[in-house]
Amino acid sequence: MIEIRGADELARVADDLRAAAASLPEEMSQGITKSMQPLPRAVKASALTTLPGSGGLAGLVARSLRITARQRSNGGRLQILSRFNLEKLDDGSVTHPTYGHRPLVTQSITPGFVSKPVNASEPSIRDAADKSLQRVADKVK
């Protein structure tokens, strides 16, 4: 709790609040982006352990993944690109040719190779955001 006595102290607190408000977006963005740094390795490792390896799908998908965690003005951004349909793979199905030829078949696979590591990192990302808010609040006191 902040207790203010007098106009001079009120002006000082107002200046501190303005400075804190200006630094909040950058502080939050840096904290969130830093907490997302382990995600690219986690998603690639998940592809290797979750997706079928016997036909080489796990290795192909893991090698094709281009994952970046970037700092944005409104927080962090995780971008995952691949030549494969990641949404469909993450939902638990893959369409492929039978023995390398037609017809195409759709096969069920273990779902969640992207969503599980991303969801597992959510608490650490929230903690980073909370810590960033606390650092900004500490500047006001």
Query: Which residues neighbour 78 within 8 Å (Cβ) at sequence distance 6 or greater?
Result: 36, 39, 67, 68, 69, 118
To the nearest whole number, what is the mean pLDDT of the chain?
A: 86
Residue 2: DSSP 8-state: -
Q: Is 92 a member of any domain?
A: no
**Residue 48 clears pLDDT 90, i.e. is over it:** yes
Quick one: pLDDT at residue 74?
A: 65
As for how many domains the chain has, the answer is 1
Judged by phi (left if over 0) then psi (alpha if -120 to 50, else beta), residue 66 lies in beta
> Would you say residue 133 lies in a domain?
yes
**Is 101 inside a domain boundary?**
no
The reported pLDDT for the residue numbered 1 is 61
Helices and strands in the chain: count of H runs, count of E runs: 5, 4
Give percent above pLDDT 90 in the chain.
40
Please answer whether residues 16 and 140 qualify as being in contact, where contact means their C-beta atoms are separated by less than 8 angstroms: yes
100 domain-assigned: no
Q: Is residue 135 in a domain?
A: yes
Count CB atoms within 10 A of the CB of residue 15.
Answer: 11
Q: Write down the pLDDT at residue 75.
A: 67
Residue 13 pLDDT > 80, yes or no? no
- For the cut 90, the answer to whether the pLDDT of residue 55 exceeds it is no
Tell me what the mean pLDDT of segment 15-28 comes to: 77
pLDDT mean over 83-105: 90
pTM of the model: 0.75
Q: Which domain holds residue 61?
A: 7-81+112-140
- Burial (Cβ within 10 Å: 0-12, 13-18, ≥19) of residue 21: exposed
- Confidence band (pLDDT; 50, 70, 90) for 78? confident
Q: Residue 74: inside a domain, yes or no?
A: yes
**Cα-only R_g, the chain:** 23
Average pLDDT rounded to a whole number, residues 98-102: 81
Q: How confident is the model at residue 106 (pLDDT cuts 50, 70, 90)?
A: very high
Q: Looking at residue 94, what is its pLDDT?
A: 92
Does residue 105 lie in a domain region? no
Instruction: Decide if 97 is inside a domain.
Output: no
